[in-house]
Amino acid sequence: MLKTLSLFLIPALMVVLVGCDSRPKVYPVTGTVTIKGTPAPEMTRVNFEPVSGGELAAGMVDATGGFTLYSGNEGRPGAVPGSYKVFLSPDASSDAYMTGKPSGVPGVPSAGPIPDDFLSAATSPLTVEVTEDENVIDVTIE
């Protein structure tokens, strides 16, 4: 009887242990990106870089300036709670980035309407907080 019971308990315990997710829990993050009152160009990448290390969360801006964040290599919807530096990456295929100050690097688009200080986490003046809840974080650049 004990041998038969262990034949069922051991596989069940293994399924439970393997099914445990040791990754930090992520929470939904959505919002809009506007630059000088206008939605950011479609396909601009909005990046949330953790201030204290961890997984980068990023999303693509849609035609209305809206975005949804995804975390890590697996693309889990949301972000881990904490403080993040927000910066933007231009889309090389967008007409919006073919004008403006040239990047100076062949094959790399200009920043288009994105101010220079919002092109990297190191220079971004914007820090936001992701909480253990549904988060709506609007990125407004003047």
Residues of the chain with pLDDT > 90: what percent? Answer: 62
Residue 8, CA distances (Å) to 11, 12, 18, 19, 128 in order: 6, 6, 16, 17, 49
Residue 76 bridge partners (DSSP):
71
Using the predicted structure, report yes or no on whether residue 15 has a pLDDT greater than 50: no
- Model pLDDT for residues 113-142, shown as the tens digit of each residue: 899 899 999 999 999 999 999 999 999 999
Alpha-carbon distance 89 to 25, whole Å?
26
- Dihedral of CA 124/56/114/30: which sign? negative
pTM above 0.95, yes or no: no
Buried b (16+ CB within 10 A) or exposed e, 85-119: bbbbbbbeeeebbeeeeeeeeeeebbbbbbeeebb
Residue 78 bridge partners (DSSP):
none
Neighbours of 18 (CB within 10 A): 7
Q: First and final CA of the chain: distance in angstroms?
A: 73
Mean pLDDT score across all residues of the chain: 84
Using the predicted structure, report yes or no on whether residue 10 has a pLDDT greater than 50: yes
CB-neighbour burial class of residue 3 (10 A; exposed 0-12, middle 13-18, buried 19+): exposed
